[in-house]
Structure 1
Amino acid sequence: MTIPTASLSAGVSAAPGTSPAGDAGSRRFILKLSCPDQAGIVHAVTGELLAQGGNILTSAQHGDADHQRFFMRIEFECAEPRPVQALRAAFAPLAQRLSMDWELVDAQRKTRVLLLVSRLGHCLNDLLFRVQTGHLAIEIPAIVSNHRDFYQLAASHDIPFHHFPLLHATEAQKLAQERRIQELIEEQQIDLVVLARYMQILSPQMCRYLEGRAINIHHSFLPSFKGARPYHQAHERGVKLIGATAHYVTSDLDEGPIIEQDVARIDHSMTPDQLVAIGRDVECVTLARAIQWHAEHRVLLNGHRTVVFR
């Protein structure tokens, strides 16, 4: 069921990758790309942007010598508003000639994020607060959960809460629930799905559907302390560091390309409950950074790894 809340905003949201101003276009854009490394890429890319009236504001690049691959992120602006579709069309021939994986987006458009959560709400609450206070520039059109625990929290932020229960968690029921999530993703034109301590394993079909646009957060003990109560397991082993990892979701459980990690030092005097509290804080910060960098188009996939232009 869907728990109704107040309307998020008036009007119709822009489709993914389009300008909030519609056909009027925008002035500020972000281009990110990767391609086989060769001489002259920077010259060719910047020359094409100049030909389109672009003035480069920031530029970052990386050459992966192991795989002979080049990565680049450029933020640029035009003197007059331009439709992002026109810039893409102009850049496409160069991208094809250099065999690029690339994306060119309107920098003013906020990433639309769907949050999935179960019964641990620390990451959800942290993300909602960051958005509300302007410290995380994303839009959250909806929250999905297999439990009802956080519908009031969602309502307090005027965000629709969708309760998609999994009473018996049979394969058929899980696939049916995932289809409902996919329908919501299409309906709300979602750019990114965040598993904010969503304690369900996504099917291989769902992982393929969300490839490169779903982020998960987990404690950094994996694979050392799998299963329930990882902080209690870590306490038993006397670890000195605990942490968290944010990564893209793949069908290989908790082994997707890593976006961000962080750690906190602990000592022998701390109880398992204290480790849980410290770990949750690290999870919140790590996940927020990963979402911010993805939303700012700073993350490029490099096989099983990522290139992150911070």
Structure 2
Amino acid sequence: MSHRSDQPATSAPGDASAGAPTHWVLTLSCPDRPGIVHAVSGLLAGLDGNITESQQFGDAGTGLFFMRVQVTAAAPRAELESGLRALEGEFGLAWTLDVVGRPVRTLVMGSTAAHCLNDLAFRQRSEALPVELVAVVSNHTVLEPLAQFYGIDFHHVPVTAATRAEAEARLLALVEELDVELVVLARYMQILSDDLCRALAGRVINIHHSFLPSFKGAKPYHQAHDRGVKLIGATAHYVTGDLDEGPIIEQDVERVDHTHGVEALVALGQDVERRALARAVRWHAEHRVLLDGHRTIVFR
């Protein structure tokens, strides 16, 4: 099974390469069987690692085992990776190894709505959201002043039926050029092609209102108001070729009643969207989300 070893962008205080302890985060999945936790913890203990956080889950439905461990160790990355590779053959591990808190290089895509982009940029600046927003890509220019305010490079990539392939090629070029690890669709009102979804599988998070699929198309809040909904919400999920049906990371809701007009529903809905998306991005960046087929395992 495949694995990924995420390298820190720069050598930080406490980096194992300098001989001082480094705080690592290890995630893994494999077919469930006895001895996995013992083998992993034994490997880390053998390298004088001190486990600071550990969570695991066995999915009886799929027969898979999932684990997330944070460990402080002075051993070089190469030794940790060598030990994990030794377990691959025995247990069929798929694993990732990264430095706790390393900012994940993130590209945000939006159209005209600014609330999700503004929230992510503010959280990165004020709350140490573990991402580095390296670019904003939009099919409009409305968000350019906001990106400039936060010092984020802005790229205007118009999209029409005739230029969609060219626009997606430009996006992939930016992902490669900027070493982007995560793409966030922050109310980006364009559908990504199947080819693009496959190219960025597991690396794109989208936010949409939970009215879908009940209220599709234009003006969903108007449709919801007309039907007299009692709950509004939002869903953050990974993007797949199936529209709005990718593995769900987080959902949030607010209760409403007959006194809420359309404008009030829109305002509440935007707040719910911000909260759900911020949590999903944080959990992804902290390696707390593991894919389990069409579902996710989220170690909060």
Q: TM-score range by the shorter chain?
A: over 0.9
CA contact (8 A) 1:219 1:283 kept: yes
Residue identity in the other structure for 2:108: L
CA contact (8 A) 1:120 1:197 kept: yes
The answer to whether residue 151 in structure 2 is matched with residue 161 in structure 1 is no
Partner of 1:109, secondary structure, is coil
TM-score with structure 1 length normalisation? 0.90
Distance 1:182 1:212, change over 3 A: same
Counting only pairs closer than 5 Å after superposition, residues 234-249 of structure 1 correspond to structure 2 as 234-249=224-239
Question: Pick from 156, 167, 184: which aligns with 1:177?
Answer: 167
Structure 1 regions of 5+ residues with no counterpart?
Answer: 1-14
Q: Which has the higher contact order (CA 8 A, sep 6+)?
A: 1
The answer to whether residue 101 in structure 2 is matched with residue 111 in structure 1 is no
Q: How many residues align?
A: 291
Q: CA deviation at 1:68?
A: 1.5
Question: Pick from 130, 138, 142: which aligns with 1:149?
Answer: 142
CA contact (8 A) 1:19 1:106 kept: no
Question: Pick from 216, 219, 228: which aligns with 1:229?
Answer: 219
Cross-structure match for 1:12: none
Identity %: 54
Cross-structure match for 1:137: 130
CA contact (8 A) 1:19 1:84 kept: no
Which shifted more, 219-228 or 90-99?
Answer: 90-99
The answer to whether residue 294 in structure 2 is matched with residue 304 in structure 1 is yes
Tell me the alpha carbon deviations over residues 270-292 of structure 1, each in whole angstroms, 9 at most, x when there is no partner: 10111011000000000000000
Tell me the alpha carbon deviations over residues 192-235 of structure 1, each in whole angstroms, 9 at most, x when there is no partner: 00000011100111000110111000001111111111111111
**Inter-partner Cα distance in structure 2 for 1:143 and 1:185:** 11
CA contact (8 A) 1:20 1:108 kept: no
**Inter-partner Cα distance in structure 1 for 2:152 and 2:187:** 18
CA contact (8 A) 1:59 1:74 kept: yes
Cross-structure match for 1:61: 56
CA contact (8 A) 2:106 2:132 kept: yes
Question: Pick from 37, 40, 45: which aligns with 1:45?
Answer: 40
Cross-structure match for 1:84: 77
**Inter-partner Cα distance in structure 1 for 2:211 and 2:94:** 33
**Inter-partner Cα distance in structure 1 for 2:33 and 2:79:** 27
